[in-house]
Structure 1
Amino acid sequence: MSISIETFFLDPSAVGTLQARIQQMVAQGILAGRFRPGERLPSSRMMAQHLGVSRITVTLAYTELVADDYLTARGRSGYYVSDNAPEPPAFAMQQTQTGTVDWTRAIGQRFTPALSIEKPTDWANYRYPFIYGQADRTLFDTANWRLCALRALGMRDFGALTADYYDGDDPELVDFISRQTLPRRGILANPDEILITMGAQNALWLSAQVLLNSRRRAAIEDPCYPAMRNILMQSRCQLSIVPVDQDGLPPDALSDDIDVLFSTPSHQCPTAATMPLDRRKALIAKGEAQDFIIVEDDYEFEMSFLKPPSPSLKSLDPHGRVIYVGSFSKSLFPGLRLGYLVGPAPFIKEARALRATVLRHPPGHIQRTVSYYLSLGHYDALIRRMSRAYHDRRQVLDAALQDSGLVVAGQGQSGGSSVWVRTPDGTDTTPLAQSLRAKGVLVEPGARFFAGDAPPTEYMRLAYSSIPASRITEGVRLIAAALTKNAA
């Protein structure tokens, strides 16, 4: 029996090459039980005509399906569903009925809201994307990243690709971080003091889980990264909210009963304020005097194009009470989800054990690819390229903001990738951001970064990491015009 050509169509929303989409289309039909063993598929010529693709594309897709034993080729007769193809479930699929479970009672813990941050997935289609933390494809070194990924797929690295490290990490990546990355921040660490994580957020979660319980108190900046606040609320620890000023977190504002402090001294999130050296030293001294641990999120230190970055808190700490969090998400791309924790061996041992119970370790292939990208010098070249671009964009943005009359409430002294803007009193930047979308402008409202039920509504974050310098001035003009219209 032949399968009707009319049953085949390509999903326009599917991703991947035409060949991959054709393979997926046929495989899904077999797995769903719609195509059965022994049934004949349309010829490659007929399928190509029907789908509007080249015949060679269909032939290659059929060949791959034969290799995977979904199809079998019978001489000049054509392609048939293989007798050895995966079989659909033997039981009838049932629609979920309205049940008797009261999920408001059954759920033991609640984790919503999640990130509390909304970023449109099609942000790159907007003409003026002042959006934070996304990769700029015009700056990224795609060719060398591809070469490193292919090298990591080779037989020489078969172990790194396929091995279960259990609770371990790629020794080559750990070695590079230890000998090259950390010394640039003034940090010396042994391999047993470094843990690879699934990004900085995973590192912060591990830190909170290891260091806190319901009897301990954590201090956090306000405003701050919303996910950090959620992590601490989910840990059920006692929480102190500490307002920041133009120099970041003020040590004198810390209470005497905290056990752990979470801070972003290099580029305060989201104000981008840089903590001065004397305040950093005072914070270290206060931590020693009051015996609390400091978790330093140093997420953007590479973007220091105006002047050298300030010393990390970890480098100023002679007592080993600073836990350091680093990430490759901002300097490479956020989808990489790779970061690292640095701390005393007893802490890293516990964080490693906790990570092993949740995800064992980040994928070995990703770790080895990053290791090659770092060790071959591609990473440093990328940082230099990004720094030059960010320097130019920052100059254009500063001039545009000054001309428009918008007030810069915070910006990194050494660089960074965003500025914190305060709009006129009474402005609500959340509906403002919605109205600007219609004009192709993306901005981040600031209210979500603050704690409390009545956060300030006048702030917004403008990032310049993903917008060309040539579009910044016009984008700022549109923001200023919208504010003027809103005030009227």
Structure 2
Amino acid sequence: MAIPVETFFLRPGGQGTLQARIQQMVAEGILSGRFRRGERLPSTRGLARHLGVSRITVTLAYTELVASDYLASRGRSGYFVSENAPEPPEFSPTPRDERVNWDQAIGRRFSSSETIIARPPDWADYRYPFIYGQADPQLFDHANWRLCAMQALGARDFHALAQDHYDRDDPELVDFIARQTLPRRGIVARPEEILVTMGAQNALWLTAQVLLTRQRRAAIEDPCYPALRALLNQTRCRLAPMPVDASGLPPERVPERTDVIFTTPSHQCPTSATMPLDRREALLARARALDALIVEDDYEFEMAYLKPPVPALKSLDADGRVIYVGSFSKSLFPGLRLGYLVGSEPFIREARALRASMLRHPPGHIQRTAAYFLSLGHYDSLVRRIGRALTARRSEMEHAIARHGLDLAGLGAHGGSSVWMRAPSGTDTARLGEALRAQSVLIEPGAPFFVGADRSAAYYRLGYSSIPSERIDAGIARIAEALAPAPDGG
């Protein structure tokens, strides 16, 4: 690795000759640990030009450092930090007497363990990872993604890659979303009505910040996506939790004076319930009567591999009151952090301005890589491959759950990648999850999804996007064994 020439500078007013000062500068870099053994130093010509000194001065300084074994010369390759250079000393941390009272200094708190669905960093090493939303590397199209990334990094796309778009998005990605992705959900939108976001969660945050104030009321599903509840609390709006049933959110439960309704109609999070068409129309009618907006989180619509999904709420909306949130995280991979917002132009204009004040826009090379992957047909092929795999895994999940006598509480009608489970009454699934970890089984306890102190601890979610079909039965068997009542006298 080469040490950048920009890291070298001569302090004004330094003592000694220029040669001595350059020697000291390099030696200090080595002794401090900034320059490491084997790293290449700038050329004598390059360093001389950078420091504004003669090349012979730098050459003499390097020669002295070679003589003292700080540097090594390798012919025409240049000068390197010697393998025999002194090791930087081990310094103990400077003792610090913390005098800041952070309980008083912090004006607003954003951390909350209650809304975190914890999973160990090494989850992929567990044999039975029934966790949600993680990509299976065996299914992903690594080769074509790599080719699209290389194409996006080429000279032809350098302008799209490198420029500051300020508040704009990659036009090729927006064009694909408008002409290919949204029509599959029955949605027609102009580019001015689409905003690319850093994932669905960023889209939800932008929406909440633009639409909600302390005086406004947001209706949310109960149970719901825990991070949504957290970001709504950040707006300090009034929250109205609404219990869901087997068909999702009941429109009649939306309270009066509600301003914004947040819902996951296609795959209710976390129960996987699918809202039928008549209820969708009733929810739109209820929102119209309240003059409320609806935020439709369609986070998993690409996972409708069993039969075509029900039309999106946005496709049925004649009033312009539905704001649609989509994501590529479930169909590509969560680390991509690409989602999008679709809404009326005045709303998108404000969301775009807010996004620009925070992060300008998602990285250009990520947007362009995704645009190539989508437009060249690799995305559709990947979705079909994932659909076939999830079909087999879902079938195995259903058979294993029935075979081992577990209680299935929710299953998506059109597909999905998880099931919602109910444990026997009195079970604390948080403790169950800890016990199962010791057996290399991961589950997601249900309590974080619920609102308030009366959360049900007996529910849990099992994802199957990251576990091979052949391991599902054995993993379900371990869950059933952990839930089985202790034998008499046990």
Shift, 1:39, TM fit: 9.5
- How far the C-alpha of 1:405 sits from its partner, in A, is 1.2
Instruction: Determine whether 1:109 maps to 2:108.
Output: yes
CA displacement, residues 333-359 of structure 1 (integer Å, 9 cap, x when unaligned): 000011000000000000000000011
Superposition deviation, residue 305 in structure 1: 1.3
Quickly say closer, same or farther: Cα 1:64–1:403, change in 2 above 3 A.
Answer: farther
Determine if contact 2:270/2:420 at 8 Å carries over to the other structure. Answer: yes
1:311–1:73 CA distance, 2 compared to 1 (3 A): farther
2:432 pairs with 1:443: no
RMSD: 2.8
Q: Deviations over 1:167-205 (max 9, x none)?
A: 110011001100000000000000000000000000000
Trace 1:30-109 onto structure 2 (pairs within 5 A).
37=26, 74-76=73-75, 80=79, 95=94, 97-109=96-108
Q: Is the 8 A contact 2:178 2:190 kept in 1?
A: yes
User: Matches of 2:245 and 2:430 in 1, distance apart?
Assistant: 23
Deviation at 1:64, TM superposition (A): 10
Instruction: Give the Cα separation in 2 of the matches to 1:481 and 1:65.
Output: 64
- Shift of the 283–95 alpha-carbon distance from structure 1 to 2, 3 Å rule, reads same
Percent of aligned pairs with the same amino acid: 60
Q: Indicate how the Cα distance of structure 1 residues 421 and 486 shifts in structure 2: closer, same or farther if over 3 A, else same.
A: farther
Q: State the distance in 1 between where 2:401 and 2:455 align.
A: 24
Q: Show the counterpart of 1:365.
A: 365
Contact 2:74 2:80 (8 Å CA) reproduced: no
Between the aligned partners of 2:39 and 2:177, the Cα distance in structure 1 is 45
Task: Provide structure 2 residue ranges, at least 5 long, that are not aligned to the other structure.
Answer: 9-23, 31-36, 48-61, 63-70, 82-90
- Aligned to 1:257, the other structure's residue is in SS state coil
* 3-state SS in 2 of match to 1:295: strand
Structure 2 partner of 1:154: 154
Aligned AA (1:396): E
> Could you tell me which residue of structure 1 aligns to residue 53 of structure 2?
none
Structure-1-length-normalised TM-score: 0.84
In 1, distance between residues paired with 2:142 and 2:41?
27
Please give the secondary structure, in 2, of the residue aligned with 1:261: strand
Q: Could you tell me how far apart the structure 2 residues matched to 1:294 and 1:320 are?
A: 10
Shift, 1:290, TM fit: 1.1
Distance 1:93 1:159, change over 3 A: farther
Residues 37 and 80 of structure 1 are in contact (CA less than 8 Å); yes or no, is this contact kept in structure 2?
Answer: no
Q: How far, CA to CA, are the matches of 1:153 and 1:486 in structure 2?
A: 60
> Equivalents in 2 of 1:458, 1:103: separation in Å?
36
Residues 382-411 of structure 1, C-alpha deviations (whole Å, 9 max, x = no match): 000000000000000000101111111111
User: What are the residue-to-residue correspondences of 1:212-231 with 2, within 5 Å?
Assistant: 212-231=212-231
Paired residues for 1:50-449 under 5 Å? 74-76=73-75, 80=79, 95=94, 97-113=96-112, 115-449=115-449
Residue 62 of structure 1, CA deviation: 5.0
The residue that corresponds to 2:59 in the other structure is: none
Structure 1: where are the runs of 5+ without partners?
1-22, 42-57, 83-91
Q: Which amino acid aligns with 1:212?
A: L
Task: State the AA in 2 paired with 1:110.
Answer: R
Amino acid at match of 2:123: W
Q: Which protein has the larger Cα radius of gyration, Structure 1 or Structure 2?
A: 2
* Pair 96,178 (structure 1): closer, same or farther in 2 beyond 3 Å: farther
Q: Secondary structure at the match of 1:110?
A: coil
Give, in angstroms, the shift of residue 257 of structure 1. 1.1
C-alpha spacing 1:195/1:96, structure 2 compared with 1 (3 Å): farther
For 1:193, give the aligned amino acid: E
User: Shift in Å at residue 303 of structure 1?
Assistant: 0.6
8 Å CA contact retained: 2:73, 2:80: no
**How does the TM-score come out when normalised to structure 2?**
0.83
Q: What is the 5 A alignment of 1:470-485?
A: 470-485=470-485
Check 1:486–1:157 CA distance in 2 against 1; reply closer, same or farther (3 A cut): farther
Task: Tell me, yes or no, if the aligned pair for 1:38 and 1:80 is still in contact at 8 Å.
Answer: no
- State the SS of the aligned residue for 2:306: coil
SS at match of 2:301: coil
Deviation by residue 1:398-437 (Cα, 9 ceiling, x = unmatched):
0010111111111110000000000111111111111111
